[in-house]
Structure 1
């Protein structure tokens, strides 16, 4: 099988267009939204915007909860996006508004430290996060005042990365408004992954990377440190169907869910590194780093390292301190954080089993999809997606009954493979479907899932839809 070479992301900055048609890149829905956003800005602020920034959401096809352990993921950008219309102002304030009236206005004084609520309790915290990130990492000495109007069609708390798109879009808008020579897409991606931690979420960088590096019509395998991408072919005659459970997957739940999984993977790396006698074991905080330090390849590390050095029962904080010969204060300070130091038990073995097997599935998916002589490619890819969902459900425990229900319905209606996408605990599923089965699958989901849920038939187009890979972040300057 010919190996598809990874490429280093272009050093080019995000594209800058001069018309809304160019910015929409073929999406009639987005073109109309952008026109409406310009009119709404004029109504809100009494003048026209100087530019619009946009950043897309994403669907992760396979590779869940492994980016923060250092492993490659395989997402695609989607056409749904966050768009921000902006005009600079001479006053020392930033005004943030939303076209959706349920999101309250906010004003920040730029002469004071931006007040970002940990865990993103307010919608505009993500906008402030992007502003603060651009200020810190783009070396902006004195922020300029701005009027911002935000519009988005990514369903919130759906697992399609609406919050990261807010951060990415805000950072891009801030850099341009402050007359910064735009850095590369890869720089923006890494910067936004770092600055999202102002919110308190310890993500691995997938959402931000695909938001900037996405390309129309292409899925991408993304590797990290440094970021590099490999194009992945979508099987001919197949599409992806997104189905929202209508169960919110809020990033504000990070303290009880997402950040605990990050901590468990970190602790597993440290425990195994200590027991292997790795020098400077306390720096081995990612499972990929542990793989390298152990001297074993991905395909053998489960059998030769994990089963030997980790038990299947949970570990208490006292257990961890005893194994690594540290006290609790050191454990809290060096290896946990404010959201996780109150957790008494951590599951390590099953989390690691998921990560290493899921990482292997990503590479298998890429190789099968890109094999020019491959047979039954779509069926094989679907099987990998099914296995991924089972692992997320049983080993990583990040599914929920509604996600499992939609996956089962999709499979019964002809999906080649279905799985949760995004962090889980609610949000969306993604299903690989042959085009001739797409209508039947969507009708079955409508009958067997959405009609049985309160408000399930309201705004169905935003809950159940076909998607294709869309372009990455961009600007339109008038």
Structure 2
């Protein structure tokens, strides 16, 4: 349930080799053993991209890859952070003087920003505190990490936060493939520009309908105030917003405000210098994607005979909208999606913020081996700079078998398969997960 606390497990119930290695690293670094461990799983979003911060539900599932943290409280106001990956330097600071530089992408900021919101509910802390590092994100990543359960995906809704089980159909698996392109959304303006475009679209749509546009922040707010369907909102978008980019001057004229007001009251700090905004395209994506999420859940609930094909079509529509309306794809993602569809996926789309990262593809189980072989050859082996992949074929009583792997110089990462059903699929070994170690100050 959404209100439940994250589960607490005895140490022996967690993967022993990783814990032992982490414990040894902790003792070597700090001279004492950790008092407890914290694990946060990763996630893959099946559908519902870039709509959580607009107020709409998303449909992710958790994955085995995680962040594992060892902790020891100490009688000091100094927090010490260390990482088992030597690429990330040790860090220490007084909890009474936490400074977060939004202009620099530093790994320890993700821990420090949590201290900024420690008085709020835990899932909401993560959503709000992420903004201290410069990302105007939604709440999907945090919610699924806290609320995920084995054997099911989740429909995550916001305001209030709640999670509903979504049982995926048998007969297909989800393949997550790394494009080997990395994009730091906190260090670039792409992501936050999209957030501001949605906010500006909200303002203009609200004003056109006589709503109090100054109080409206999310596209979902407009729909709720008007009391109309998502399909009707798409019609309103076509009537109110033109496809051509809006200049800051035109936006100011539409809202009856000055450029100074626009920058100080609406735009985020790292979008102050953006001169044009595509409002029609972004709003069209959000409302259509929100409708696809609801349709995806409906199909899963009703489980028609052609459910796999129908879900695949929704994933394809989502990808096209992400690429053409939201413009958050990249050439490598486009190539990878095309290859996945060419070799047997019924649906394939980018997952996450985009501009790099991973794709998720829905593949019929009987086509899986051929699919993996062909995608490996067509995408990964064709470019020595790309990560050769690993595969995980998931059931809940898993055994593992190592596949051929090769580390990339650019970005290490998995190519793996997940099924939420007890299908007879061979298990394989995952790549090392991200493991942090820390020495936490006593804040009481």
TM-score of Structure 1 vs Structure 2, range by shorter chain:
0.7 to 0.9
Which of 12, 19, 23 matches 2:11? 19
Asked if 2 retains the 8 angstrom alpha-carbon contact of 1:273 and 1:284, the reply is yes
Pick which of 115-124 and 207-216 moved more: 115-124
Which of 144, 156, 163 matches 1:222? 156
Pick which of 441-450 and 200-209 moved more: 441-450
Q: Which residue of 1 aligns with 2:222?
A: 290
Q: Which residue of 2 aligns with 1:47?
A: 32
Which of 254, 257, 282 matches 2:190? 257
TM-score, length of structure 2 as denominator length:
0.87
Which of 271, 283, 292 matches 1:340? 271
Structure 1, residues 331-377: CA drift from partner, whole Å, max 9, x if none?
Answer: 111110211121000000011111111000000000001114x1210
Q: Could you tell me how far apart the structure 1 residues matched to 2:247 and 2:2 are?
A: 45
Q: Could you tell me how far apart the structure 2 residues matched to 1:102 and 1:468 are?
A: 33
Asked if 1 retains the 8 angstrom alpha-carbon contact of 2:43 and 2:144, the reply is yes
Q: Which residue of 2 aligns with 1:300?
A: 232
Q: Look up the SS of the partner of 1:17 in the other structure.
A: coil
Asked if 2 retains the 8 angstrom alpha-carbon contact of 1:316 and 1:346, the reply is yes
| 1:365 is the counterpart of 2:357 | no
| 1:117 is the counterpart of 2:122 | no
Aligned residue runs from structure 1 range 198-277, under 5 A: 198-254=132-188, 256-277=189-210
Contiguous gaps of at least 5 residues in structure 1: 1-8, 25-29, 139-186, 471-478
Quote the offset at 1:401 in angstroms.
0.7
Asked if 2 retains the 8 angstrom alpha-carbon contact of 1:239 and 1:434, the reply is yes
Poorly superposed stretches of 4+, deviation over 6 Å: none
Asked if 2 retains the 8 angstrom alpha-carbon contact of 1:311 and 1:349, the reply is yes
Q: Which residue of 2 aligns with 1:164?
A: none
Q: Which residue of 2 aligns with 1:465?
A: 416
Q: Which residue of 2 aligns with 1:183?
A: none
Quote the offset at 1:290 in angstroms.
0.7
Quote the offset at 1:90 in angstroms.
1.9
Q: Could you tell me how far apart the structure 1 residues matched to 2:280 and 2:61 are?
A: 30
Which of 379, 387, 409 matches 2:309? 379
Q: Could you tell me how far apart the structure 2 residues matched to 1:231 and 1:91 are?
A: 43
| 1:80 is the counterpart of 2:11 | no
Q: Look up the SS of the partner of 1:89 in the other structure.
A: coil
Asked if 2 retains the 8 angstrom alpha-carbon contact of 1:418 and 1:431, the reply is yes
Which of 376, 383, 395 matches 1:453? 383
Q: Which residue of 2 aligns with 1:312?
A: 243
Q: Look up the SS of the partner of 1:271 in the other structure.
A: helix
Q: Which residue of 2 aligns with 1:408?
A: 338
TM-score, length of structure 1 as denominator length:
0.81
Q: Could you tell me how far apart the structure 1 residues matched to 2:49 and 2:407 are?
A: 28
Quote the offset at 1:249 in angstroms.
2.1
**Number of positions where the alignment pairs a residue of Structure 1 with one of Structure 2:** 400
Q: Could you tell me how far apart the structure 2 residues matched to 1:356 and 1:35 are?
A: 48
Asked if 2 retains the 8 angstrom alpha-carbon contact of 1:79 and 1:467, the reply is no
Structure 1, residues 13-50: CA drift from partner, whole Å, max 9, x if none?
Answer: 112222242xx3xxxxx442222211221222121100
Q: Could you tell me how far apart the structure 2 residues matched to 1:321 and 1:57 are?
A: 41
Quote the offset at 1:120 in angstroms.
5.4
Pick which of 328-337 and 115-124 moved more: 115-124
Q: Which residue of 1 aligns with 2:429?
A: none
Quote the offset at 1:468 in angstroms.
4.9
Asked if 2 retains the 8 angstrom alpha-carbon contact of 1:53 and 1:84, the reply is yes
| 1:106 is the counterpart of 2:91 | yes
Q: Could you tell me how far apart the structure 2 residues matched to 1:34 and 1:434 are?
A: 36
Quote the offset at 1:131 in angstroms.
2.8
Q: Could you tell me how far apart the structure 2 residues matched to 1:74 and 1:469 are?
A: 14
Asked if 1 retains the 8 angstrom alpha-carbon contact of 2:105 and 2:187, the reply is no
Asked if 1 retains the 8 angstrom alpha-carbon contact of 2:104 and 2:187, the reply is no
Asked if 1 retains the 8 angstrom alpha-carbon contact of 2:2 and 2:162, the reply is no
| 1:329 is the counterpart of 2:321 | no
Quote the offset at 1:452 in angstroms.
2.1
Quote the offset at 1:83 in angstroms.
0.8
Q: Could you tell me how far apart the structure 1 residues matched to 2:330 and 2:165 are?
A: 31
Q: Which residue of 1 aligns with 2:79?
A: 94
Quote the offset at 1:427 in angstroms.
0.4
Quote the offset at 1:225 in angstroms.
0.2
Structure 1, residues 283-331: CA drift from partner, whole Å, max 9, x if none?
Answer: 111111111223321122211x111111110101100110110111111
Q: Could you tell me how far apart the structure 2 residues matched to 1:127 and 1:111 are?
A: 15
Say what the alpha-carbon RMSD is for the aligned residues.
1.7
Q: Could you tell me how far apart the structure 1 residues matched to 2:144 and 2:103 are?
A: 22
Structure 1, residues 115-151: CA drift from partner, whole Å, max 9, x if none?
Answer: 11215511111111123322xx25xxxxxxxxxxxxx
Q: Which residue of 1 aligns with 2:361?
A: 431
Q: Could you tell me how far apart the structure 2 residues matched to 1:120 and 1:84 are?
A: 23
Quote the offset at 1:10 in angstroms.
4.0
